[in-house]
Each structure stands twice: as structure tokens, then as C-alpha cells.
Amino acid sequence: MAEALLKVYRGDEKTGKLVDYKIPVEAGMVVLDAVHYIQGYYSPDLAVRWNCKAAKCGSCSAEVNGKPSLMCKTRLDDFDLSQPIEVRPIKTFPLIKDLVTDVSWNYEVNKTIAPFKPKTENTDEWKVYQEDVDRVQEFRKCIECFLCQDVCHVLRNHDKKDLVNKKDLFAGPRFMVRLAGLEMHPMDVANRIPYIKNEAGVGYCNITKCCTEVCPEEIHITDNAIIPLKERVVDEYYDPILKMWRAITGKS
Amino acid sequence: MVNSASMATNDNFGQTERRDAWWLAPLLTALGLGIFGIYATWAAFQGVNYEWGPYLSPFYSPLLQFSWLPRWFSPALLILPFPLIFRGSCYYYRKAYYRAYFVDPPACAVGEILPHKNYKGETAFPFILQNLHRFTFYIAVIFIAILWYDAIVAFDFGGKFGIGLGSLIMLVNIILLSLYTFSCHSWRHLIGGRLDCFSCSKMTEARHKAWSRISLFNEHHMLWAWMSLFTVGFTDLYIRMVAAGVWHDWRLF
Amino acid sequence: MANLNEKLETHECDVIVIGAGGAGLRAAIEAAERGQKVAVVCKSLLGKAHTVMAEGGIAAAMGNVDPADNWQTHFKDTVKGAKYMNHWRMAQLHAQEAPDRIRELERWGAVFDRTPDGKILQRPFGGHTYRRLCHVGDRTGLEIIRTLQDKVVHTPGVEVFMECTISHLLKDGDRVCGALGYWRENGSFVLFKAKAIVLATGGIGKSFKITSNSWEYTGDGHVLAYDAGAELIDMEFVQFHPTGMVWPPGVAGLLVTEAVRGEGGILTNSQGERFMSKYDPERMELSTRDIVAKSIYQEVKEGRGSPHGGVFLDISHRGAEYIKKKLPSMYHQFKELADVDITKGPMEVGPTVHYVMGGVKVDPETCQSNVPGLFAAGEVAGGMHGANRLGGNSLSDLLVFGRRAGLGASDYVKGLSNQPKVDDTDVEKAIQEMLAPLDRSEGETPYEVHRDLQRVMQTEVGIVRTEEDLKKALTDLKEIQARAEKVKADGLRQYNPGWHLAKDIKTMAKVSEAIARCALQREESRGGHTRLDFPEYSNHWSKHNSIIRKESDGSMTVSTAPLPEMPPELKKLFEEEKH
Ligand SMILES: Cc1cc2nc3c(=O)[nH]c(=O)nc-3n(C[C@H](O)[C@H](O)[C@H](O)COP(=O)(O)OP(=O)(O)OC[C@H]3O[C@@H](n4cnc5c(N)ncnc54)[C@H](O)[C@@H]3O)c2cc1C
Ligand code: SF4
Ligand code: SF4
Ligand code: FES
Ligand code: FES
């Protein structure tokens, strides 16, 4: 039977190191299977998050050979098995242990987003057509794996996570996706554009598209969510012609 | 307040656990843009060999010649700033040069140069000006109209219809320039993306159709960006070479 | 003895909701909106509960696509699907209230697929007379949990404790008074003092080897309730979903949504025969799950299976465009995990443990168990789905009874005259039990015991059962329970899955015993319970539910309770049909 050598990060932020494990390789095996094998046969206390094993829940995010990936979707036979496979925790959030990081910052950010506010409470009056929600549905595919947050250099290298003063804050691609889903909802009447510009810091994004590259749901984060939001911010803040138009007609 | 500090803030430039050739793409981008930039600057300063027969180099169109300008001043310098700021503030090119020249980031999950606290992104001068991209688009549309005129005129050989290789090159060039320009993100937004409800009126339905169509082209905006960059340079080169007598225009018809 | 004197983190609330799937979140919203201080506790991160994996849709007689649909028809379909084993009142409330619960979701921001005239689109599903499943492609559960999650975040009075596992319920006399748990992150204990408890912990699938369920489905709620003195009902009814993946081995058991058949998927055996025509010629692939699962089992057993021991399911005739739009995650799942392009050829599928119909016996109106202050909703509650659950009826069940449990708990708290008290010695005993595996210097790893448990349940309490096998299973389970008491957990308390499993295998072994006992008692075949030695329906058993109870000496006993009788006006619905 074929074998793979996995190097898995073990320990906490300070004392951690890569530890070698030899794994028998079955057909169709994914990295998460290998990690489970380690738990089951070598090291029961290896910490890892997972739930669905089918790329639906967004729990098993890690960096495999330096690439932010879902472990349950990353197949061993995609690698050259004569080389070791390195599995590390995602880097943008503080490490708890082994492959598990503290992603609670993301949940805190979510709380600061104004909730959906419908035009009318009476759903009998709702007529919403598929063409109106196609866009929004793309954003609602998000499984909150936070891989985009992990890879985004604004969070990863520049660490713009200041939730206290919200001056040095970038909500990150995941929440740009969420905001786009709310802002483009045909029934929603809340205005989050000032929030998007000021608190959520959309201007920090320099549209370098790493988020789009890693999204397992293949959401076009930059093109369909962030850029349109940037354009909406321009409408409101940087476009004198539209400003005049609004002043004259009273419309937006 | 939760502790949220990234474990990558102290990564050095180029530091990564990636094992693929992540440096290849930014390197190619840097070379591609660099070569074009050098060629375009050189060509713009020439001030000669930009016309031949019915052909006019896109670097020099519209051709503005003023008697009060010194002889050495190339007419290209009057107009090239406009395409330059259009492309310079284009969402795609921004990605390309932020990665390739500012290495911010050089590639995904790879360490950067700038110390992490100074990063301002597009929230402060100068990059906050990128927000004006739509105005550069409006100007670009005028250029597109002029270049279409040039491309049509390129089939007019002294009052008679004809086709030279140069006519075809100019045609292909303006088609690609149009694809690039009208797949612009700002345009996509203005035509329909700003709406929340597409089905609400006849007007919004029409705008939805336009938006959907533009979205299809927009998906390949990067492709159009590179192809049109190449053809615009090549069109100038072709006309320059023909005008200088190095190449001969090939008349097909 | 480690850390008994460490200061115990304590939270006080009115209602503690254990579980943050559809049922738990809906319950929390309801209780909080009625003024209760609510703590929601869940084992995973918020938004990762099983509900997120639900694919096909949520059933409600909205009549958007088939205007003839109404709650009466939905009620009848549910009861027939359940083989007349469910509580009529639960089925009735469910059918009546489901449409409102869906409209409410829409108001909270859910975005369902639309009909051409701008309403919520509904698709056909097994056992449903009309096109009834509201859906979002094949990620309906994600839409629901995300909507509820965002609603909860903005509901004042709810606090969420994620990655926190409840290990023990605490009682004051016969009432509940709180719960003890541990933080997965650092292994420290946390006490919740509460007046009422809502269990919404989901199912039990992890006791089996081939299952569509995740690590969370260890039957915690079932056993917490059982240990607290609540009765469990109908535990023998375990749903084998007919279509799980069978290849490659790593993904065996992973669900292939029924929506594939809902959208027109065809089942064939190795001879290319559309075999459902033999078992249910009328409904074919859209027959109920128990029948389709057993048909597949039969085909494979008789040698007409696919290369990896399943059958073929083909949807490719619907065309690539349509499949990618309506079944995107199935498309990706097969493409990425099995190298199969389902727009071009068939998938290989076979039965997989999916859902437990049995659960905590509750009052249909309030969802309260026989223990005062202890409520249950969602998959952990029993009675709603009888012997077999129809696809799409779970998500609606979560919302209807989640809300009712929140309401019931809130009313219960308002009616309390004095606050129940937590007894410190109970807490200490619980902590000691939890720490024991870490203190042992030798013992098996819990993973080893878990593997054996799964093997026993899969082979001896599986899709078809016999007296002999079940008796053997009960002896095997006794042995496994004894081993589970002696496992050793390596490492420290920080995020230690081995230690967590040490508790979980005890829970799983107990819930497995409940299943085996009920299965042995019910001498007939019905829905999710098939006895080779009793292949027919029995008249006696059609009028009885199974009941599991913990006796005062700590032993588990099984008995029966008469099935609640339907009132005449509901009975009439079934008679009308016969004419
Ligand atoms: C792959 C798949 C597809 C499905 N598709 C459909 C479908 O299309 N339609 C349909 O109607 N049904 C479907 N189902 C069934 C349905 O999704 C589940 O039955 C339902 O989601 C269960 O919801 P719940 O709220 O009861 O529990 P869950 O959503 O599973 O939530 C359980 C919660 O309890 C928590 N918990 C458990 N134990 C503890 C503990 N000890 N301490 C603290 N917290 C605890 C967990 O962390 C979790 O938050 C599907 C199921 C699966 C597995
Ligand atoms: S495109 Fe913007 S949000 Fe996405 S990774 Fe780059 S900087 Fe971050
Ligand atoms: S947008 Fe994509 S990458 Fe980001 S959290 Fe959602 S699914 Fe993950
Ligand atoms: S385990 Fe759910 S996404 Fe990997
Ligand atoms: S975005 Fe590239 S031209 Fe406007």
C-alpha cells in the first residue's frame, strides 16, 4: 500500500513544531482522512476542527503546503507523495492548539453589521424574482470557512483587526460578501454604505484577489462583492455628479 | 476584546510555506507591464513616424498639433495621460501592479515588505484617488469613439476602399480596446449593478439585461486588459515600422 | 485529584438551550423574545451544526407550485410516511405551522429559490404528494442556519457559548436546575444555572460506521435526558438514507441528497434494470426512504450491485446546465471527491445511517418531557416522525417545534414560584467523572472502543435485524460499555479530542443499547426497523410505541406505551381518500 508522510503542526504558538506521521494511503483519501488516521492510531489528542467532511460546513480550514485549503476537499493524490505534505493551522488568527485557531474575532465583526431590514413585514406582498436574487444567492453560499480572511494580507500581514476604535479595522472579505448580500437584497432597506466605508474599511482592500483564489465556494468575492461595494461607496462619497443629481432630484 | 493577533505579522518579505513557484506570476506581470511602459514612453517621445497612409498610431490619436508648442514636443504627450490614468486606476491593473511592483502582497500567503502598521490601502492619498476611476472611464469612452473613427478611416486609401494589414490591425485593436473598456467594473456598476431590484420596472429590467451581458465580458476583464495592451503597442509599432520604411504594408485588397 | 477546587465559571440564565442547530436557535429566539435570559451552548462553532448540511429542502404546504396542496395533505403524507407510528398531534401542528415558519425565515433575510411569479419555489420529494420542498439549490440547510444565526446575534437576551460541551444535566428534586459543561478550548468546566433546559442536540449517527452524520452526533441529548429521568420513545427507528456515497472509502456514507431523485434521478442495478419498478411501481424513485433503502439493500444482496457494493443513480439526462444550477454541491462533491462527473454518468450509491426518528418523549404542544423544566426539540425529540421520516420534514420540524419549545420553556419559567438550586456535590461528582480518563495511567484509547462500537452497531443493529443479532449486540454493548469506563485519554485538557471522545463513547454506547433494546422488543417490520424474523406489520405493534426508561437502580428498561389515538375528524381524512 502506498504511504504518505504528513508533517503536522503540533503544539501552541510558542512551542509548536512540525511532527512526522506515516499514513497508509487509500483511494480517494483527503488530508482530513489522514489527520483522522493520526488521531485514531497515533495521537488521540491531535486537535482539529471538522464536521461535514463534504466541504459544506467550513470547519476544517488549514494551510496545506502553505496554501489555505479545506482539508476535507484536498486530496492526497493531488500531491507528489514522494515529498512530505505539510499541514499547518491558518495563520491569521491566534493559535489555540495544533490545527485549531481562535476565529472568534470574525463572530465579533459579524455582530457589528446591521441586520436585514425588510421593506414590509407582510410576506404575502413579497414578490421577489429569481433574477433579483441570483446575485445575493452567490454570496449566501458562503460557508464561513474564513479561508479568505486567512489569506487576505490586510488581516494576515497588516493585522487590521481593531474592533475597539474601529479605526484600524478591515472587516475582511467574508464580511464584504455578507454585506454585499444584504445591500443587494431587493427587499432590504437598511443603508450600510457609511458603515462599509468607515467601520468596515472597504478602502483597505487593494483588490489583489487572494480571497477569490482560495474561496472553496468559488464566490467571486472581489469582482462581485467588493468592487461593487467600492462603487457604491463612490456613489455616495466620491462622485460629485451623482451628488448633484441627488440634490436636484432627491433620488438616489 | 478578543485576542485576534495574526501570527504572520512578522513574516519577512517573501516568507511563505508555499512550495510552488508563487513568484512567477508577479514576475511575468512586472516584466509585461515594464516592457510596455518602456516602449510606450520611447514611442511617445519620438514625435515622428506615427502616421502612414490612412493609418494613425493610437498613441497619437486624436492628433493634436499646436503651432505654439516647441518642435521637440511630441503630440502624444498631450493625450497619453488619459489612457494612462484610465488603465492606472483600472481595478485589474491595480491588482497587477500592487502585487508586481508594490509587492503588497507579492502573492497570496507570502510575506511583504511594509511594516504592518503603516498600511493604508486605498483609504489615504494617493490611492484614495482610485475612487475616481469612473471619470477616467468617461474620458476613455471618448477615446474609443475617436479610435473607431481612425479604424474606419484606415480602410480609406485616397478615397478608395481598401484593406491593408494595417487596417486589420487597427480594427482588431479597437475591438479589443472596446471590449476592455466596456467590461469595466465601474461601467458594470453604473449600467445596472447599482440597482437592488432588477424586476421593479421596464427600465430596470432593461438595465438588468445590459448588466448581465456586461458581466459576461467583465469576467474576462483581465484577458481584455492584456490583449488590448499588447495590440495597442503593436499597432503603434506596425505603423512606426511601415512609416520608417522598415516594413512594407501588405495590401490585401 | 486535579482542580476540584479551581473556581468554577458559572453563568445564570432562565433558559439554557443545548444545541445551536435549527431547533436550538429557533427555540432561543422565541424564549428571548418572550423576555427570558437565554444561553445557547454548542459543541462546534456557531453555524456549523448539522442543520448546515441539509441539502434538499424544507417541507411546507405553501401551495406555491401546486395550489391544491394544504396542511391536511401534508399531514396525511407525514402520517403515512411514518407508517402511522407518530403522534398525530405533532404531525398536525407541524403541517399547520410549517408555512408560517418559512415566511418568518424570509422576513429574517433567507433567500429561497423563486417561482416565475416571484414566490418561493417548491420541488418534489419522496413521499410528498405535491411539490412541497422550499429550497435553495442543494444548500437549504446553510440558508436556514445562517438566517437563524444572524437573527440570534441581533436578538437581545441571547448569549452564545460555542465550542462548549454539556456533559451533565443537574436536578433539584425532580426539576432541572442547570447543566455542567466544559470548554473544548481549554478543558475547564463551566456551570450553567438555569430554570429550564431545551435540548436540541440532534442525532446519534456516530454510533454507526457508515453514516452521513458528523462527530457531533453522539446522542448527547438522548442520554442527558435519559439520565435525568426522561423517557425515550421509538429508539428502534433509525433512518437509513437510501443514497449515500459508497466510493472512495474515505467518503463512504456521505449523503447524496434526495433532491437528485426529486429532480428526476433514476436508480438502476448492474443489469441496467430500473429496479424500483419491482418494489414501488407507482412512486418509483420517489417512494419513501425506508422502501428505497431496503430495495437497494435487496438488489445488492442478490448480486445485482455496482462494483463497490451499491447501485447506480443517474441524473445526467437532465443536462449539465440544469444539474449545475439545481444540484451544485452534489456536482462538486462527486467531481472533487470521487472523480465522477454526474452530468455525464451515474453515481454509485448505497444506504447510510442518516437520522433517528426516536428520541425524547415530549408533549406536542410545549415540547416538555416528563421531567419538569426539561424540553426537547428537533432530531433529539421523538414522536413526530414515527417509523420513518419524510425528506424535508426535519427542517420544518426544527422550526415548528423549536419555536414551541422556546415558548414552552418561557411559559414554564414564568410559572415557577421558586428558583431551583444546584447541589454542589452533584457538580463535583460530574467533574470527577469527566477527569477520570485523564488521570488513568493505562487503558485503551477511546478511538479503539469507538471503532468496535461502530462495527457492532453496523453489523448487528443495521438495516435488517434478527433476534439473534440483537441479542448478541446487547452482550457486545455491555462489554463495550465496560471498556468505555476504563479508557485512558492521552495529553492535557486543552482542545483534546481524545479526551472528549472518552465521554462520548459512554454516551454512544448507552444510546446504542436503547436502540438495540427497542429493536429486540418490536417483533415486526415497519419503516426504519426491519426484522428478518418478523418481516410483516403486526397488529399489536401498530398500536404501541416503545419506551426506554432509566430505573432507580440505574439499569435500562424497555416497555411499551399505547399509541395516542387520532381524533375522528383527522381519521376521516384518511377514510375520505379510500372512496
Ligand atoms: C447530510 C444531511 C442532509 C440532510 N438534508 C435534509 C433535508 O434536505 N431536509 C431535511 O428536512 N432534513 C435534512 N437532514 C436532516 C436535518 O438536517 C437534521 O435532522 C437537522 O438539521 C437536525 O437539527 P437539530 O437542530 O435537531 O440539530 P443539529 O443541527 O444537528 O444541531 C445540534 C446541535 O447540538 C449541539 N450539541 C450536541 N450535543 C451537545 C452537547 N453535549 N453540548 C452542547 N451542545 C451539543 C451541536 O453542537 C449542535 O449545535 C439532513 C441531514 C444530513 C446529515
Ligand atoms: S482582494 Fe481585498 S479582501 Fe480580497 S484578499 Fe485582497 S485585499 Fe483582501
Ligand atoms: S467567502 Fe468563501 S472563503 Fe470566505 S468564508 Fe465564505 S466560503 Fe470561505
Ligand atoms: S469538514 Fe466541513 S468543510 Fe471540511
Ligand atoms: S475596471 Fe478595468 S477599466 Fe474599469
- CB contact under 8 Å between B18 and A205, yes or no, is no
pLDDT digits (tens, 9 = 90+) for C307-316: 999 999 999 9
Asked if residue C27 lies in contact with residue C405, where contact means CB atoms within 8 angstroms, the answer is yes
* Interface with chain C: mutation pick from A14, A26, A111, A116, highest number of C CBs within 10 Å: A116
- What are C421's three cell numbers? 438550586
pLDDT digits (tens, 9 = 90+) for C232-290: 999 999 999 999 999 898 899 999 999 999 999 999 999 999 999 999 999 999 999 99
- Predicted confidence at residue B113, as pLDDT, reads 85
Q: What's the gap in Å between C200 CA and the centre of ligand 1? A: 8
List chains adjacent to chain A, taking adjacency as at least 3 C-beta pairs closer than 8 Å. Answer: B, C
- CB contact under 8 Å between A231 and B105, yes or no, is no
CB-count burial class (<10 Å; 0-12, 13-18, 19+) for C452: middle
Q: What's the gap in Å between C147 CA and the centre of ligand 4? A: 20
- CB contact under 8 Å between A51 and C53, yes or no, is yes
Using a pLDDT cut of 70, give the percent of chain B over it.
98
DSSP one-letter string for chain A: --EEEEEEEES-TTT-EEEEEEEEPPTT-BHHHHHHHHHHHT-TT-----S-SSSSS---EEEETTEEEEGGG-BGGGS-TTS-EEEE--SSS-EEETTEE--HHHHHHHHTSPPP-BS-S-GGG----HHHHHHHHHHHT-----HHHHH-HHHHTS--B-TTTSSSB---HHHHHHHHHHHT-TTB----HHHHHTTS-GGG-----HHHHH-TT---IIIIIIHHHHHHHHHHHT-HHHHHHHHHH---
- 3-state DSSP call for residue C287? coil
pLDDT digits (tens, 9 = 90+) for B103-146: 999 999 999 986 566 899 999 999 999 999 999 999 999 999 99
Which candidate in C132, C139, C261, C483 is catalytic?
Answer: C261
Instruction: Record the pTM.
Output: 0.96
- Predicted confidence at residue A251, as pLDDT, reads 72
A159, A214, A238 ranked by CB distance to B108: nearest: A214
> Domain boundary at C302, C324, C352, which?
C352
C261 is catalytic: yes
Q: How big is the A-C interface in CB pairs under 8 Å? A: 167
Asked if residue C267 lies in contact with residue C313, where contact means CB atoms within 8 angstroms, the answer is yes
Q: Measured between beta carbons, which residues in chain B are less than 8 angstroms from residue A156?
A: 6, 8, 109
Q: Is C10 an 8 Å CB contact of chain A?
A: no
Q: Residue C461: inside a domain, yes or no?
A: yes
- CB contact under 8 Å between A28 and C338, yes or no, is yes
Q: Residue C145: inside a domain, yes or no?
A: no
- Quick one: closest CA in A to C120, which residue? A128
Q: Measured between beta carbons, which residues in chain C are less than 8 angstroms from residue A177?
A: none
| CATH number of the domain where residue C438 is located | 1.20.58.100
- Predicted confidence at residue B2, as pLDDT, reads 55
Residue spans per domain, chain B: 5-183+220-243
Q: Measured between beta carbons, which residues in chain C are less than 8 angstroms from residue A39?
A: 447, 497-498
Chain A closest-CA separation from residue C521 CA (Å): 33
Q: Residue C211: inside a domain, yes or no?
A: no
Residue that is written with C-alpha cell 480596446 in the block: B177
Q: Measured between beta carbons, which residues in chain B are less than 8 angstroms from residue A228?
A: 185, 189, 193
Q: Residue C303: inside a domain, yes or no?
A: yes
- 3-state DSSP call for residue C94? helix
The total number of structural domains that make up chain C: 2
Best mutation site among B85, B91, B177 for ligand 5, i.e. most ligand atoms within 8 A of its Cβ? B91
Q: Is A125 an 8 Å CB contact of chain C?
A: no
Spell out where C43-174 has E strands: 58-59, 122-123, 133-134, 158-162, 164-172
- Predicted confidence at residue C6, as pLDDT, reads 64
pLDDT digits (tens, 9 = 90+) for A91-146: 999 999 999 999 999 999 999 999 999 999 887 778 999 999 999 999 999 999 99
Q: How big is the A-B interface in CB pairs under 8 Å? A: 164
Taking each helix axis from N to C end, the angle separating B24-46 and B221-243, rounded to the nearest 10 degrees, works out to 40
- CB contact under 8 Å between A52 and C251, yes or no, is no
Which atom, in ligand 3's list, is nearest to the CA of A149? 4
Chain C closest-CA separation from residue A122 CA (Å): 8
Residue that is written with C-alpha cell 499588447 in the block: B230
Which ligand is the nearest neighbour of the Cα of A90?
A: 3
| Phi, then psi, of A46 in degrees rounded to 5 | -65, 120
Asked if residue C389 lies in contact with residue C355, where contact means CB atoms within 8 angstroms, the answer is yes
Q: Are residues C435 and C516 in the same domain?
A: yes
Chain A closest-CA separation from residue C330 CA (Å): 10
Q: Residue C331: inside a domain, yes or no?
A: yes
Per-residue pLDDT of chain A (252 residues; tens, 9 = 90+): 789 999 999 999 889 999 999 999 999 999 999 999 999 999 999 999 999 999 999 999 999 999 999 999 999 999 999 999 999 999 999 999 999 999 999 999 999 999 999 999 887 778 999 999 999 999 999 999 999 999 999 999 999 999 998 889 999 999 999 999 999 999 999 999 999 999 999 999 999 999 999 999 999 999 999 999 999 999 999 999 999 998 998 876
A44, A75, A115 ranked by CB distance to C497: nearest: A44
Spell out where C438-495 has E strands: none
- Candidates A73, A193, A201; CA nearest to A143 is A73
- Predicted confidence at residue C575, as pLDDT, reads 87
Q: Assess whether the C-beta atom of A139 lies below 6 angstroms from ligand 3.
A: no
Q: Assess whether the C-beta atom of C289 lies below 6 angstroms from ligand 1.
A: no
pLDDT digits (tens, 9 = 90+) for C460-479: 999 999 999 999 999 999 99
* Interface with chain A: mutation pick from B7, B19, B224, highest number of A CBs within 10 Å: B7
Q: Is the dihedral of CA A219, A222, A223, A229 positive or negative?
A: positive
- Max Cα separation, chain C? 72
Chain C closest-CA separation from residue A159 CA (Å): 23
- Predicted confidence at residue C579, as pLDDT, reads 53
Q: Is C111 an 8 Å CB contact of chain A?
A: yes
- Predicted confidence at residue B134, as pLDDT, reads 98
- 3-state DSSP call for residue C388? coil
Chain B closest-CA separation from residue A35 CA (Å): 19
Q: Is the pLDDT of residue B66 over 50?
A: yes
Residue spans per domain, chain A: 3-101, 104-249
- What are A101's three cell numbers? 485557531
Best mutation site among C394, C404, C501 for ligand 1, i.e. most ligand atoms within 8 A of its Cβ? C394
> Domain boundary at C327, C352, C377, which?
C352
Q: Assess whether the C-beta atom of A211 lies below 6 angstroms from ligand 2.
A: yes
- Predicted confidence at residue C576, as pLDDT, reads 75
The amino acid occupying position C544 is H
* Contacts of C298-303 spanning 24+ positions with Cβ under 8 A: C299/C269, C299/C275, C300/C350
C185, C250, C490 ranked by CB distance to A45: nearest: C490
Q: Is the pLDDT of residue C156 over 70?
A: yes
- Predicted confidence at residue A252, as pLDDT, reads 61
* Beta-ladder partners of C465: C531
C317 is catalytic: no
Q: What is the ipTM of this complex?
A: 0.96
Q: Is the pLDDT of residue C574 over 70?
A: yes
Q: What CATH number belongs to A104-249? A: 1.10.1060.10
- CB contact under 8 Å between A52 and C338, yes or no, is no
Which atom, in ligand 1's list, is nearest to the CA of C55? 8
Give me the domain span that covers residue C322: 242-352
What are the strands of the beta sheet with A61-64, ordered from one edge? A17-24, A3-10, A85-88, A61-64, A67-70
Q: What's the gap in Å between C394 CA and the centre of ligand 3? A: 27
A67, A157, A237 ranked by CB distance to B105: nearest: A157
- CB contact under 8 Å between B121 and A204, yes or no, is yes
Chain B closest-CA separation from residue A252 CA (Å): 10
Q: Is the pLDDT of residue C533 over 80?
A: yes
pLDDT digits (tens, 9 = 90+) for C66-113: 999 999 999 999 999 999 999 999 999 999 999 999 999 999 999 999
- Candidates C5, C416, C411; CA nearest to C177 is C416
Q: Measured between beta carbons, which residues in chain A are less than 8 angstroms from residue C138?
A: none
Q: Are residues C444 and C342 in the same domain?
A: no
| CATH number of the domain where residue C327 is located | 3.90.700.10
Pick the CATH number of A3-101 from 3.40.50.720, 3.40.50.300, 3.40.1050.10, 3.10.20.30: 3.10.20.30
- Predicted confidence at residue C1, as pLDDT, reads 39
The amino acid occupying position C406 is G
* Interface with chain C: mutation pick from A37, A48, A56, highest number of C CBs within 10 Å: A56
Q: Is the dihedral of CA C561, C567, C573, C579 positive or negative?
A: positive
Which candidate in C184, C241, C493, C522 is catalytic?
Answer: C241
- Quick one: closest CA in A to C254, which residue? A54
